[in-house]
Amino acid sequence: MGLPLVQCKQKFSAMDMQYKENLREWISEHARKYNLDDICYGSFTAQFGFKNKFCAVDVVSSAAALIEQNSQDYSLNFLNALDALSRVNVQQLLAGLEVAKQQQTVIVNQARSFIETKQIVCAGPFVYTCLEEGTKHAELFSRPLVLAKLARFLMESWVIINKKSRGLPFLLSAPLS
């Protein structure tokens, strides 16, 4: 797309106006080129003062990441995620958003690893792969929401590569750790 790296590393609100105004158009243009449907979509937003503006997906991702952050005590994690939804705990919501970004990066890297190393097997009536114990970040995939995100992303990616497997169930196993 030709965006300067300095602009990409900034938050959207701090980017130069020329890039902010054209970004949606550039993304949509590249999405059509690579057949990525619905990459830009409408959403609700919440704004706390002049500084913090969150779309609904960001809030949901942040809360989900906070719930699954430590798998030891889900009830405490749930209460922390609930606290992050109040206007006084914006920093906690931002911290959850950073955790969600890290989780998403790990998911994409793991999916890329599965595909590049040909670990996805089409076994006739279904498609499967196994996340081996000892794999980097394996403890992250023992959490149900993160595992479901990985499975969905892998399934969508695999169907693009291997059209024969469209419509087949996808099985992903991971250690509980």
| pLDDT above 70 for 90 | yes
Going by C-alpha positions, the residue among 99, 89, 91, 87 that lies closest to residue 61 is 99
Asked whether the beta carbons of 174 and 141 are under 8 A apart, the reply is: yes
Asked whether the beta carbons of 70 and 63 are under 8 A apart, the reply is: no
What separation, in Å, do the N-terminal and C-terminal C-alpha atoms of the chain show? 41
Residue with tokens 């196993």: 173
Q: 0.85 cut: is pTM over it?
A: no
| pLDDT above 80 for 122 | yes
More confidently predicted of 99 and 37: 99
pLDDT in tens, 55-87: 888 899 999 999 988 767 788 889 989 998 888
69-78 contact pairs (CB < 8 A, 24+): 69/96, 69/99, 71/139, 71/142, 71/143
